[in-house]
Amino acid sequence: MTSQVFPLYNQENENIKTDNGSLIISKIQNLRQQPSDPGPLTNPPSLINQRFTAKSQIEVEEDLNSFVHLTIILVAIQSGNFSIGYSLSYLSMSFTTLFSQITLKGSEIEEQGLFSAVLSIGQLIGALATKPLLKYMTRNQSLLIGDMFGVLSILQVIPNREIILAFRFCYGLCLGISTTIMAVYVKEICPEKYYEKFSVLASFLIAGGLFFVNFMGLGYLNFDLRGENSYYWQIIFAIPALLHFLRSFIITVIYQIDSPDSLIQMNKPQSAKKILMKIYKPQFVDQMFFKCQQRVQNNDEQIEGIMNIFTKKHLKTVMIGCLLAFISTWCGLFALYSYCSQIFEIISDGDFTLNTLFILIIGIVQLIPAFISKFVYRKMGNRSLLLYGLFLLIICQILIVGLSYSETLEASIVSFIIICFFSFVFALTLGPITFSMTPEINTSEGTYFCFVTLYLWQLIMLYIFPFMLDAIKISGAFIVFAILTFLSSIFFYFFVKETKGLNHDEIERLYGKL
């Protein structure tokens, strides 16, 4: 027998009936109706905090107005992940051309670190700014502000060092705001039975963005497009601005969608119902409205503040989310993506054509898991997939270290094959799990904090990796990555729990939050 919990608005119980196996709210007594200006809810706190339980022998499954439209909305929201994947290597393959057209103020290693790190500085500040944004704005309004920074980033095409740095920082702000909001936005707007499918989509889009920019990198095989007078790098730099314009146009102009949870938090219940009417069939709107209110009321962090995530109740899941953010950056793949051209130049012994083909192949390898992940996730839970994935990553890291000591062509080819498998495993396991498990087990406050730490780790990695590559070479870097991955695996083995097939309430109970 399943049970569902709805808020009690008065001393009387709502009438509930069953029709064709679906639980339908037939009457809501004494609920304030406000057709024009809903204003704030005025129910006494003592009454709002009460609960009653409506039990049904048959699990409720809400019917959608259109699964196609829901898919378009959720893909549009998460298209920022495509932009994240695109941002990973679009600068790396353009360093040589770009640096030949601007005046540098340091060595190439120092400038590479700075140009790479300024994006993550923007991401970190954007993620930090999301908290006050969400205090006064809805999810979509905040996402729109992020997209405005994304559109402004088109000014990166101006060949001036300071201007590029400034608007690369602007692009970072966009990604920081976008990443922090997307995970929470999808969790609040997506029906539970589709959540796993759409949360995994984040990894597919990241891989798609990485593949697309690596495919664009084939243009550099033409010497004229990588020369001092090339305009090609400007085309590559301009594409993200178009993507963020299209996202805002689809979500804000065409569908006019928003998170009903955030509208309820801002005391706009009628606006929340209008959003739900766009998604669900009429007979399920009230039912879903109550579920949204329940989620909002159960989110203690909305009242107690961000420090509440460090209490015993939430600390374990926050630590898991933060460690996922850490190891997804420090297992070595993030460095590989961000400095792929420099790493493959070492492996290919300076062969530009081979370097470019290596970059394209790694993009293809990243995309393949997206087509098989749903079959893997259907058979394996997050915990098993995470632990097996980390074990395979450690094996790959050890092999990369061993092969890095040989300079033969055969060793280089084998190293590249291992790196491809390394990338494949990451894209199938740790990559998507980081973006799906973190919001799944954490509140919006906890998710926010975890993604802030993600950008902090990325900032550190982007800045220091060129120096690591120069000082301790690939072998030393991957020894560090292997040690950190091994230690993380031990933590996950003892603290991560299996959530396969569980709904949000059951996950909360599993981690001792309810």
Instruction: Read off the CATH number of the domain in which 230 is found.
Output: 1.20.1250.20
**What is the C-alpha separation between 301 and 306, in angstroms, rounded?**
6
Q: Tell me the per-residue pLDDT of 272-331, one tens digit each, with 9 for 90 and over.
A: 999 999 999 888 898 889 888 888 887 654 455 667 788 888 899 999 999 999 999 999
pLDDT, block means (10 residues), the chain with 514 residues: 34 35 37 40 41 38 83 94 90 88 88 89 90 88 96 95 96 91 87 79 84 90 86 94 96 94 90 92 89 79 64 90 95 86 78 83 84 75 92 96 84 89 92 86 85 88 87 92 97 93 85 81
Structure-block tokens of residue 429: 């396991």
C-alpha 140: how far from its chain's center? 16
CA–CA distances in Å: residue 113 to residues 177, 188, 338, 460: 23, 37, 10, 10
| Residue 503: half-sphere exposure toward Cβ, Cα within 13 Å | 13
For residue 113, tell me if it sits in a domain: yes
For residue 88, tell me if it sits in a domain: yes
Q: Tell me the per-residue pLDDT of 470-512, one tens digit each, with 9 for 90 and over.
A: 888 889 999 999 999 999 999 999 999 998 888 878 888 899 8
β partners of residue 397: none
Structure-block tokens of residue 248: 């805002």
Q: Which pLDDT does position 277 carry in this prediction?
A: 92
Q: Tell me the per-residue pLDDT of 96-106, one tens digit each, with 9 for 90 and over.
A: 899 999 999 98
Domain range spanning residue 243? 67-257+303-510
CA–CA distances in Å: residue 454 to residues 309, 434, 451, 487: 17, 10, 5, 18
152 close to 135: Cβ distance less than 8 angstroms = no
Structure-block tokens of residue 507: 């996950």
143 close to 177: Cβ distance less than 8 angstroms = yes
pTM: 0.73
For residue 378, tell me if it sits in a domain: yes
Q: Which pLDDT does position 305 carry in this prediction?
A: 62
For residue 407, tell me if it sits in a domain: yes
86 close to 239: Cβ distance less than 8 angstroms = yes
**What is the C-alpha separation between 198 and 196, in angstroms, rounded?**
6
Phi-psi region of 443 (alpha: psi -120 to 50; beta: other; left: phi over 0): beta
Element (H, E) at 16: strand 16-19
**What is the C-alpha separation between 186 and 176, in angstroms, rounded?**
16
Of 450, 452, 128, the residue nearest 314 (C-alpha): 450
For residue 21, tell me if it sits in a domain: no
For residue 118, tell me if it sits in a domain: yes
For residue 291, tell me if it sits in a domain: no
Number of domains present in the structure of the chain: 1
- Intra-chain end-to-end CA distance of the chain, in Å: 19
Of 59, 169, 131, 89, the residue nearest 505 (C-alpha): 59
For residue 62, tell me if it sits in a domain: no
270 close to 276: Cβ distance less than 8 angstroms = no
Kindly tell me the sign of the dihedral angle through the C-alpha atoms of 240, 466, 109, 336. Answer: negative
